[in-house]
Amino acid sequence: MEWSFLLNSILLGVGLAMDAFSVCLANGLNEPKMKVKRMCAVSSVFAVFQALMPMLGWVCVHTIVSYFSAFQKLIPWIALVLLLYIGGKMLIEGIMAKEEDEKPAVTFGALMIQGVATSIDALSVGFTIAEYGVARALVCSLIVATVTFFISLGGIILGKQFGTRLANKAAILGGVILIAIGIEIFVGGIIG
């Protein structure tokens, strides 16, 4: 493998992982007592979705490209709805929570929605790696996944640090962050 391929894959991973980083920051804020095992599991979910979506896009380019181009217009809307739902729910729970309430962990279902919402734009990366053979596209996706894992883990750790200090306001801030990410993905997808 040449260095430019590796560097491009790493930079692609960094770019794609920014939404996952922000959501993991919110998750860390919401759950400041998250254990290392759970932190790794949460980061892995984002990494898996960030690896699967470009490969799914690659497969679409090589099989059903006409259907995928119509779906691509819906990506900003889907991300907006999913993140508004999760962020709004988190925001309401944060506002309604009492001082002494223990913050609930992000549920498996919510984590899956977050994973899809933050990686759905990576489907279009399948177009950018379309000229790669299957092995090279897979390696690129695995590099993206690795980068996403570590960036997501960093987001959780950072969120936990602030979550401990912010205590009862963490869920509100986390909800606002998720809503802002949803709006940013939507506006970027509509304008760009």
Residue 142: is its pLDDT beyond 80? Answer: yes
Nearest CA among 90, 116, 115 for reference residue 105 = 90
Mean pLDDT computed over 96-112: 73
Report pTM. 0.73
Q: Does pLDDT of 167 surpass 70?
A: no
Of 137 and 131, more confident: 137
Three-state DSSP at 99 gives coil
Residue 19: pLDDT band with limits 50, 70, 90: confident
Tell me how many degrees the CA angle 13-40-18 measures, rounded to the nearest 5.
Answer: 30
**Non-local CB neighbours of 135 within 8 Å, separated by 6+ positions:** none
Query: 76 or 133: whose pLDDT is higher?
Result: 133
Number of Cβ within a 10 Å radius of residue 15 = 14
Residue 79's CB is within 10 A of a number of other CB atoms, namely 25
pLDDT of residue 155: 92
Q: Which residues contact 156 (CB under 8 A, 6 or more apart)?
A: 24, 25, 27, 28, 34, 39, 42, 43
- Average confidence (pLDDT) over 44-72: 82
For the segment 34-55, the average pLDDT, to the nearest whole number, is 95
**Per-residue pLDDT averaged across 119-136, rounded?**
80
Nearest to 106 by CA among 39, 162, 51: 39
